[in-house]
Chains A and B, each alone.
Chain A
Amino acid sequence: MSRAFTRRALLAATPAVLGAGAARALSGGHNPFTVAQLQHGGNWNPRPTAMRRLLWEVSKRTSIDVAADATAVTTDARELFYQPFLYWTSDGEFPPLDARAREKLARYLAFGGFILCDSVDGAVDRGAAASFRRELGALTSNRPLDVIPREHVLFKSFYLLDRAEGRMVNSPDLWGITVDNRVAAVLTVNDLGGAYARDNFGYYLHEVVPGGDLQRDRAFRLGVNLVMYATCLDYKEDQVHIPFILKKRRR
C-alpha cells in the first residue's frame, strides 16, 4: 500500500521529516513498516540516524517490508495514528507533556499503538528515564512501570534473547506498561539508538561498551524483536511454537 509514500511525500515538504526525508521503502514494495519519532520539548532527536539503520536491519533480517526512515511527529499529527510504532527518545530530562498530548498518547495506546522509550543519557533513575517514567505513569493513572520478565514473548519474538542491551548495559531489564494484555510501551535505559547510529560513510557513531560489536548486534536483535512484537504481538506464544522454542532453549 502507498500510505508511507503518499504521506511521506506530504511531510517531505515540512521540516518535521527526519534526515533527507527519503520516502522510499527499501524493498520498493508496498505496505512498509514505518516508525514515527516523537518531537517533544527536550532533546528529542539525539541519534538522528538510528531508526534508519534499525529499519534497514529489519528489512535485511526479516520478511517485514519497511520504509526507509522514521517520520517525526507531534502528538497532534494525524500521521501518528497511521504509524502504530512510536520511537520516543531523549538525551536528558524533558518537560512534561501537556494534558492534550497525554490524552492523545493514551488514546494511541488504547487503540493499538506501541511506544518504545529509549533513554540515551545513561541514567537509570534520573534524566530521560525519570521523564519517561513520569509520562508513561501519566498515561496509566500513575501505575508504576513493570519489569518485563525474561520469559515474555518480547525476548523470543524473533531472536532468542535473555537480556536487554544497547550502546550501554545500564540495566539488562526492560520496563513496560500493559494495555489489554499486551505490552504497549517499553522503556530501555541502555541507549538503544546509540548502538544503531551511523554516519554518512557507514561508520558507527558511538562505541558500544563493554561488549563491542557483539553487543551491538545483540542491540539490533533486541530492536528486531521489538518490531516483531509490535507487528505480531504474542504470536510466538501460540501453542504450536512452544515445543520448538523450549527445545532450542534447552540446547
Chain B
Amino acid sequence: MDAQDLAYNDWSITALSPWPWPVLAAAVVLLAVAAWVVAGPLRTAPGATRRLLLGLRALGLLAGAALLVEPGLQLQQVSSTPGRVAVLLDTSRSMGLPSGGEAPATRMDRAREFVTVAAAALQRLPPSVSVESWTFDRALAPSTAEALRTVAPAGDRSDLWRALTGVLDGRPGKPLAGVLLISDGADTHDLPGNGLPLEAAERLRRAGVPVHTVALGAERGYRDVAVESVRADDFAFVRNPLEVEATLVATGYDALDLPVTLRRDGRVVAVTQVQLPGGGGRAVARFKFEPRDVGEAVYAVEVPAQVGEVIVDNNRRSFTLKTIRDRIRVLQVAGRPSWDVRFLRRLLKENPSVDLISFFILRTPSDNANVRQDELSLIPFPTRELFTEELGTFDVVVFQNFNFGPYEMGAYLPNVRQFVLNGGGFAMVGGELSFSEAGYDSTVLADVLPVRLPPGRGHYVEEPYTPTVTEAGRRHPIMALPGGRVGDVVGRLPQFEGFNLTDGLAPGAEALLTHPAPRSGPRDQPVLAVREVGKGRTLSLMTDNLWFWALPDAGADGRGTAHRELWANAIRWLIGDPALSRVRVEARGGAFDPGQPVELVVRAFDASYRPLPGAHAELVLEGALEGGDAAVPYRAVAQQKGVTGPEGEWVVRVPSPGPGAYRARVTARAAAGSLGSDEDAFLVRQSDREIAEGAPRPELMAALSEASGGTVVRSPDDVGGLEWKIPEGVRVHRRRTEPLWDRWEAGAVFALLWALEWVLRRRAGFA
C-alpha cells in the first residue's frame, strides 16, 4: 500500500469474475459433484492416505473455485452523509428594543446569551452535521458562531421569510437537518399579523425541515399598547359619513380604558373611548365622521402612552385617505324611454357617488293617454328652471336621444354651451332623435361638441358593426375596460346596429371608437369622441346601442359590465376627476423613514393621455406639523420647478423634511395650455418601521415552528433535546480493488495441488 492507501478506512472482499453468479455457482457445484464421484475408490484406502488425498482434492477444488470467482480486496474511503444545522439570528433594529423582562436587557442581549449557552449543545451534534451561522435583517448573510455573540442590531427591516427560504433553498448537496431561528418575530416585510399565510405554512410543511424558534421580547413583564391595524376605505366623499376602524392590542396590562384619537393632518377629528382587555386581548375603536375638505390627507389613530410601556411608537398608526368632491350631480335628459336610457339611469342610480336627476319625455303632444291630466303622474318638462336656475348646480349634463325642438329649448342651448365653457361636462348620446336628426347642427351647442354635424336630417344609419378602438382610445381613461387589451375586449362585445353620421371630428377632439367602414359616408366615422373645450369637457356617443354591452353581452356569456365601466370612466373624465388629471404626482411608497429622502414622481400627459415630454411642472411640498387640537395650517417646506423628460416623467428627490404629514401639490403647463393640478399625501415617520412595528410576535414564531414540525425553544438548555432531521447512510468518497487470485501464482498453486494429488494417488495404487 502506498501512502495514499492510509486514507482508506474500510475494506471488503469482493468477486471480480465477469461471469454471473448463477454460472459460477453451477460450475462450483459441478466440480464438487465430479470430485465426489471420482473419489469413490479412495474410500478403501488406509486412513492416512485417504485423508491426504481427499484433503489435496478438496484444496484443488477450492483453488479451482477461487480461480472462477476471482476474489479481490476492495478498499474504501467512506464517511457518514453530511448534514447541517442553520442558526439564524435576527439583527434588525427591533432586536435592540427592551426584552421586557425584569432585568434591563435588550432582545439582542438575550439572543447573545442564548447562542452562547446553546453552542455547547450544538457541539454535541454528530460529526457529520455541521453548524452554520447566519444573520438576517433585510437579507440573509453568512456569519460565524463567534460573530453571533457580538453582532449589533442595526438592520432597517426584518424579512423572516426571505431568511428562512434562503437557508431552506441553499446548498442542495448538503441536506438541512434543521433551523434554529432566533428573533422577536417582528417581521416588517412579508408576514403581516400573527398568523402564517397558508402558502407559507404549506411551503414549510413540504420542506420537512424542523424550524425551532426562539421568540424574544415577550417575556413576563413586557408591556405594550399598540394600534395593530386600521381599516378605512380607499377614498371618501366630502361631507359624507366615513367609517374608520382601528384594532388595538394591549400586552402585560390589566384591563385598560383608553381614549383613542383620530387625527387628520395633525388636527383632532374624533375621540372615542375603548375598553381593552388585558393579557394580549384586542378591541376595536370605531370612528364615524364626515370629512370636510377635499384632497389627500394623512390620518392617524393614536392612543396615549402607558406607564412602563416598552414601545410607544406603535401607539399610533397613520394612513393616507383621499377625500373627493361631493357627489357628482348628473342631469340626464332623454327624448323617450328606451333600453339605452334605462340602462344608463340604472348604473347612475346605483353609483353612490352620483346624485342623479333624470328627465324623460314620457309623452309628446301627439300621444293620447286617454285620461284626465290628474290621473297621470306626469309633470311639465321644467325647461326654464333646469336650464337657467339649476344648470350651474350640475357637474354633468347628458342629452340622450333628445330632440330639443318640441320643448322650446332652443333659447336655452346657449346656456348649455356656456355651462361647458365654464367647466361643466356634457355628453350627447345618439339615436334617431339626436345630433343632426334633432337639428343640433344649426345650434350653438354644435360649437362645443367633439364632432362636426352634417346639416339636415337623414343621418341616422342602421347597420351592424363592431367599433374599432383608436390609438387614442387605447390610452384614454374612458376606455380603461378590464379583461385584456382594450381592442380585444371591444372585439368580443356585441356589435352595435345604429349610429349617427358626422362630418368628422371637431378641432382638438379625439375619437376613441370609430365605425371602420360605414356603407355610406366617410370611413372611420367617430362612434365615441371626446373634446376639451373652454374649461369643460364634452363627449359624443354616436349610437344608442351601448346598452348592448350590458344585458346582451351577459347573454352571450360575457361579463356584462363593459357598459357600466365605460360610463363610470366617462363620468369621471367629464367632471375632470383629479385621478384622470393630465398631470399626476405620486409619493413613492406613501411613507418614508426618518432621514430617508422623499421621492416624488410627476407625470404629464397630452390630451390623448400619451406621456408628455417637455411639460413644465411646479411642485410644492406642504407640511402639517403635529399641532395638537388646534387647526394647523399647511406651510410650504419645499418648492421645485422642473420639466418632464422623454418619458413624460420628472422624478424629484427632496431631503427628508422631518417627521410629520405632508402633501405634494403639482401644477403643470404645456405649450397647449394648463394640464391641471394634482396632489398626493405622504408621511415621514417619527421612527422607522423597525421600531414602530417592533412589538414581539411570539404567535408568528410559534406558527413557523408548528408548520415545520419544529418546537418553540424556551431555554438554551433545551437545545440539546431538540430533534433534528439527521441524514442517514454513508457516503463513499474513494474506492480501490486489489485482485487476489487474478495472477499466475494462483494458477500455479491450482496446478501444483492437482499434480501432487495425481502423483500421490498413483503411488498409492489408485487410478
Contacts and interface: CB of A to CB of B under 8 A. Distances in A.
Interface in A166-207: 180-182
B370 A61 contact: yes
A3 B551 CA distance: 14
A156 B377 contact: yes
Nearest to B332: A235
A124 interface: no
Nearest to A225: B377
Nearest to A217: B370
Contact of A158 (B343, B377, B544, B551): B377
Contact of B342 (A110, A233, A251): A233
B431 A30 contact: yes
Given A29-B432, A241-B377, A62 B343 contact: no
Nearest to B350: A180
Given A60-B367, A111-B550, A112-B550, A159 B338 contact: no
A96 to B, nearest CB: 22
Given A31-B498, A63-B363, A157-B377, A1 B343 contact: no
Given A2-B497, A3-B497, A81-B556, A159 B360 contact: no
A157 B377 CA distance: 7
Contacts of B464: 6
Q: Which of B431, B550, B551 has the most chain A CB atoms inside 10 A of its CB? A: B551
B376 interface: yes
A240 B345 CA distance: 15
A3 B363 CA distance: 23
A40 to B, nearest CB: 18
Nearest to B496: A1
A1 B494 CA distance: 14
Contact of B554 (A6, A111, A182, A236): A111
B342 A232 contact: yes
A122 to B, nearest CB: 27
A63 B337 contact: yes
Interface in A120-149: none
A113 interface: yes
A27 to B, nearest CB: 10
Interface residues of A, number: 51
Given A31-B431, A31-B432, A63 B377 contact: no
B545 A63 contact: no
B339 A158 contact: no
Interface residues of B, number: 53
A78 B432 contact: no
Q: Which of A30, A82, A156 has the most chain B CB atoms inside 10 A of its CB? A: A30
B345 A62 contact: no
Nearest to A81: B555
A30 B550 contact: no
B261 interface: no
A63 B346 contact: no
A81 B350 CA distance: 21
B1 interface: no
B560 interface: yes
A53 to B, nearest CB: 14
Q: Which of A63, A110, A159, A234 has the most chain B CB atoms inside 10 A of its CB? A: A63
Contact of A236 (B374, B377, B401, B463): B377
Interface string A1-42: 111011000000000000000000000011101000000000
8 contacts: A1-B431, A61-B369, A62-B337, A63-B367, A81-B552, A81-B554, A158-B378, A236-B377
Given A112-B346, A244-B377, 13 more contacts: A1-B544, A3-B545, A31-B544, A61-B368, A81-B552, A81-B554, A84-B342, A107-B554, A111-B554, A112-B551, A160-B376, A217-B370, A233-B342
